[in-house]
Amino acid sequence: MINRTFYFFTVIFLIFVFVIFYRGLNNSNLYTPNTDIKKIPEFTSKTLIKKDSLNSKDIFNKNKFYLLNIWSSWCVPCRDEHPLLINLSNKEKIEIIGLNYKDNPNNAEKFINELGNPYSVILIDRDGTKAIEWGAFGVPENFLIYENKIIKRYIGPLNSQLIDEIKSYIE
Amino acid sequence: MNFLKSFLVILIILNFNSLKADEIKMQNKITKNLRCLICQGQSVYDSDSEFAISLKLVVKHKINEGFTEDQIYKFLTIKYGEWILYDPQFNKNTYFLWFLPLLIFLFGGAIILKKLINIKK
């Protein structure tokens, strides 16, 4: 009798362990946090082209969608997503704000001159601390904002599928 | 008199140093408890990734602004979720985690006790 219950529990235990590990196999090992932050952080930053100082309150204040794009000239995937951003910037209902992450200003300007400027404003984050305020991991990363709230975040580069998704949000 | 003055100056500098040392100690303690989210299996303290370097700076700024250790953890868990902490805080999601060792201990103890009673009989 004891032997049978022992086998029974062993089998149950093994099945339990198997299910947990099997499910774990399907999980992505890239961690994405629950997007608890809905409010956009407040910050002041210098801008890349005009070189003036701007507060976040003065940026996200229109009745429009905003896409905050964290980018850098040294980031290769940013180069790939750039044409998509230029395409998206033609839409009237959305404004793209750049956050230049840990970049050399000269290189950043060269990047923009070379590939075009989809951004209405480019903010500078020299030491990466502003990106942390946003809860960002690195470059590239995008936040879709409406009425001062983050409605969607995209970690990693955008592709045409995700751009279509953004377009469906704004229309 | 001069000697006293220079003694005081040195004392003040030394005091300032120890304050600074406390700050660095606290910064190290906090960053050792933070998981570097983009490098696997490393703490923010150990890592030199761009993310970790920025996070160390943020922790330093927050300490200078007068945030306590718990306030800094809270600030970061709001941004990055509980996963960023190596030492998870005690809340309804982690009850099971915290109590499981105790439960296993009690269960094991009960088994041993039962065996002992059986032997005595």
**Cα angle A168, A125, A108; round to 5:** 80
Contact residues of B toward A, CB < 8 A? 37-38, 40, 50-51, 53-55, 57-58, 61, 78-81, 83-84
Q: Looking at the domain assignment, is residue A8 inside a domain?
A: no
CB–CB of A44/A54 below 8 Å?
A: yes
Specify if A78 maps to a domain: yes
Domain of A158, CATH number, reads 3.40.30.10
Q: Which residues of chain B have pLDDT under 50?
A: none
* Dist CA A36 CA B76 (whole Å): 11
Residue A31 has its nearest CB partner, among B54, B55, B83, at: B83
On chain A, the residues whose CB falls within 8 A of the CB of B79 are 33, 37, 132-135
- Does residue A37 fall inside a structural domain? no
Contact B51 A138 (CB under 8 A): yes
Mutate to test the interface with A, among B44, B75, B79 (most CBs of A within 10 A): B79
Residue A107 has a pLDDT of 93
Q: Is residue A156 part of a domain?
A: yes
The closest of A161, A141, A140, A139 to A152, measured between CA atoms, is: A141
Task: Answer whether residue A29 is part of any domain.
Answer: no
Q: Crossing angle of helices B69-80/B2-32, nearest 10°? A: 30
Q: What is the pLDDT along chain A (171 residues), one digit of tens a residue?
A: 678 889 999 999 999 999 989 988 877 655 566 555 678 888 888 888 888 888 888 888 888 899 999 999 999 999 999 999 999 999 888 999 999 999 999 999 999 999 999 999 999 999 999 999 888 888 899 999 988 888 888 888 999 999 999 989 888
The answer as to whether A19 is a domain residue is: no
Domain count, chain A: 1
A12 within a domain of the structure (yes/no):
no
What pLDDT does residue A73 have?
93
Measured in whole angstroms, the distance separating CA B68 from the mean position of its chain's CA atoms is 12
Q: Is residue A108 part of a domain?
A: yes
| ipTM for this prediction | 0.74
